[in-house]
Amino acid sequence: MRKFQKQQLLDIVVSLHTLHQESKGRMEKKDYVTVQSALSDCQEAAIQMGEAIERMEGTGTAAVAYLEKYCEKLYQVNMQLEEISAQKAYKSLESILVKAENEINHMSVRKEVVFLPYKVSMWDSMESVYLAAKEDENCDAYVVPIPYYDRKMDRSLGEMHYEGNEYPKNIEITDYRIYNVEERRPDVIYIHNPYDEFNNVTCVPEEFYSRHLKNYTDCLVYIPYFILGEIEPDDQKRIDGMSHFCFVPGVIYAHKVIVQSEKMRQIYINEYIKAAKSVRLPIDQNMLKHKILGIGSPKLDKMKNTKKEDLEIPEEWLRVIEKSDGTWKKIVFYNTSINALLRHNGRMLKKIRNVFQYFKERQYKVALFWRPHPLIPSTIKSMRPELWAEYEKIERKYREEGWGIYDDSADLNRAIAISDAYYGDNSSVVNLYKKTGKPLMLQNVDEGEEL
């Protein structure tokens, strides 16, 4: 039985107690017609409660047994309305109903938790939380991937995507068309998309906006899909570069927000207060302290638990990685980000071509592992359509030549685990890669620079 279902039953019991009290007064006034109607309502409610309990708990519960006795007593009182005293009728009904109420109160409650990811590449921000929930014998955990749309230049919705069939084999997926959040009212909902309608690249359906989801649960939890570089709470210059993350719908409407560290928690609180004041939103600072928690990111859990020796490496990758003697070349993880492309435009494309040329000439001792941000194609089409043809040409040529690895999978952690060094843009991936202790170099998008 779920918590909200139990509460619904108890709310009905409260209504029955009220009807008993009202019927007692009517009996004293000899208004038997009204009393008969009330007793009939009580019996119908008791029957519905019994049926609901049997659906949830099966047959043979003490609560249902008392509800059946209660129905019998209702019938007896109805048959003796003019002979029995109002006080005696009231006490006899109350005594049985209280026993049924006590049994309902003692029924065990199962917790229901639902995870609503949209991009499978961002699933690592939830996975360790889900696996922990699955281990809890008193919890039912569901992963319900939701669809999302590309944004067009005019901000209308474009093509719909659904990635529910791309999750790891150990993750049981529930179809979003079957799981009705409004009806199920899960105890906890986890999201990693905080933007609602304000994302310029993608958009989830409106029914999954955080401002709606908060109405269907007692605990909406937002976990950022990214990890930021650690910042001191007094380093305002660096904070200004990320403060927009602190006051988005997911942060505003969530009951809990999980951030990567205690320092980041303090930054979120400070920046939230500033932003809320600027738009005259009421602020409860004590609430914020309990709402935003700096207990770490599941993304780090996933990275630490991904071991190179446990990975399945595709055959076409091995042809790039292995030397003639069977040993592996050094693997360089080349990461290109959305922000760098939007900032540098055509210069970024030239940079990518230069990097490819450099590693192509050294392919016999170094394997290039290119993993562009999964949303780069959607971003270019939406925000830099004039670059799409050239970008597509660069990507197609790289893949057709086959001297390097192209990774468009959702598994970022595989790239981190098998690579020997990182080269590329300064993005949230850098903050993860630093934790490995492996060499890391950021690229400088400069027209005169060959690499």
Place of tokens 């005293």: 85
How many CA atoms lie within 13 Å of 359's alpha carbon, on the beta-carbon side? Answer: 26
Q: Which residues of 423-445 are buried (b: 16+ CB within 10 A; e: fewer)?
A: bbbebbbbbbbeebeeebeebeb
| Tally of CB atoms within 10 A around 304 | 12
* DSSP one-letter code for 436: G
Q: What is the DSSP letter of 6?
A: H
Look at 124 and 200; give whichever has higher pLDDT.
124
Q: How confident is the model at residue 126 (pLDDT cuts 50, 70, 90)?
A: very high
**Residue bearing the bigger pLDDT, 449 or 75:** 75
* Residues 392-396, mean pLDDT to the nearest whole number: 97
Task: Give, for 441, the enclosing helix (H) or strand (E).
Answer: strand 440-442
Asked if 3-105 and 111-301 have one fold, the answer is no
Evaluate if residue 451 carries a pLDDT over 60: no
Looking at CATH, the fold of the domain delimited by 308-442 is given as: Rossmann fold (3.40.50)
Mean pLDDT value of segment 260-282: 96
* Mean pLDDT along residues 148-173: 93
Q: What share of the chain is helix, strand, coil (3-state, %, to 5)?
A: 55, 15, 35
Average pLDDT for 409-436: 93
Quote the CA–CA distance of 197 and 214 in Å, as a whole number. 16
Enumerate the domain spans of the chain: 3-105, 111-301, 308-442
Q: Between the CA of residue 44 and those of 39, 67, 126, 208, 387, what are the distances in Å?
A: 9, 11, 44, 36, 67
Q: How confident is the model at residue 363 (pLDDT cuts 50, 70, 90)?
A: very high
Summary mean pLDDT of the chain: 94
Q: Is the pLDDT at 337 greater than 90, yes or no?
A: yes
What number is the average pLDDT over the span 326-336? 96
Asked whether the predicted pLDDT for residue 447 surpasses 60, the reply is: no
Q: Provide the CATH number for the domain formed by 3-105 in this structure.
A: 1.20.120
Res 448: pLDDT: 47
pLDDT of 374: 86
Give the pair of three-digit tokens for residue 109.
């409650």
CA angle, 279 then 285 then 291, to 5°: 100
Please tell me the predicted confidence (pLDDT) of residue 375: 87
For 120, half-sphere exposure in the C-beta direction (CA atoms, 13 angstrom radius) is: 15
CA distance 378 to 201: 6
Whether the CB-CB separation of 364 and 319 falls below 8 Å is answered with no
* Average pLDDT value for residue range 319-335: 95
pLDDT at 71: 97
**pLDDT above 80 for 177:** yes
Mean pLDDT of 275-297: 94
User: How sure is the predictor about 228, in pLDDT bands with cuts at 50, 70 and 90?
Assistant: very high
Q: Which helix (H) or strand (E) holds 59?
A: none
How many CB atoms are closer than 10 A to CB 112? 20
Residue 368: strand pairing partners: 332
What average pLDDT does range 189-212 have in this prediction? 95
pLDDT digits (tens, 9 = 90+) for 14-35: 999 999 999 999 999 999 999 9
Pair of tokens at residue 203: 């958009």
Nearest to 123 by CA among 180, 191, 169: 191
Q: How confident is the model at residue 200 (pLDDT cuts 50, 70, 90)?
A: confident
Given this model, what pLDDT does residue 30 score? 94
Q: What is the mean pLDDT of residues 329-342?
A: 95
Class of domain 111-301: alpha beta
**For 227-252, what is the mean pLDDT?**
95
Contact predicate 270/233, CB 8 Å? yes
163 contacts: CB under 8 Å, gap ≥ 6: 118, 119, 120, 145, 410
Report residue 384 as tokens.
């830099």
d(CA 238, CA 374) in angstroms, rounded, equals 26
Question: DSSP label at 404?
Answer: S
CA distance 435 to 432: 6
Q: Are 2 and 110 in contact (CB under 8 A)?
A: yes
Helices and strands of the chain, counted as H and E runs:
19, 14
- Label residue 58 by pLDDT band (50, 70, 90): very high
Model pLDDT, residue 153: 85
Percent pLDDT > 70 in the chain is 99
**177-199 mean pLDDT:** 96
